[in-house]
Amino acid sequence: MRGKLVSLLMGASLVLAACGGNEETSGDTVSAGDPEKIYTQKCSSCHGVELKGQGHFPDISTVGARFSQEEIENVILEGKGAMPPRLIKGEEASAVAEWLASKK
């Protein structure tokens, strides 16, 4: 039982670390004005650098053809499937949603 609990905690820690990370990478801080950088730091570990998805995480390279900016922002804020909510918030969420909505 203890081994299962330790495994569960380690797995949860890895997911949280991979799907959010720190707000800093190489000394650079994320700004709402750079949605690609925000995506790279907060989302690419699951959706891939080229937005093509990895493993069971979906390809979002043409997400703007399927969803509006408002719908994309809602997914960012509320989460969906294995994606946890609010990995990106506020102006950053809006900027990333706008950028992704242009991917058609």
What is the per-residue pLDDT across 18-30, written as a single tens digit (0 to 9) for each?
A: 554 444 333 444 5
Whether this model's pTM surpasses 0.85: no
**Domain residue extents for the chain:** 2-101
Tokens, residue 73? 């922002």
- For 31-72, what is each residue's pLDDT tens digit? 567 999 999 999 999 999 999 999 999 999 999 999 999 999
Task: Provide the pLDDT for residue 33.
Answer: 73
Distances (CA, A) of 90 to 43, 46, 65, 93: 16, 21, 23, 5
- The CATH class of the 2-101 domain is mainly alpha
Terminal C-alpha separation, the chain: 48
The answer to whether the CB of 77 falls within 8 A of the CB of 19 is: no
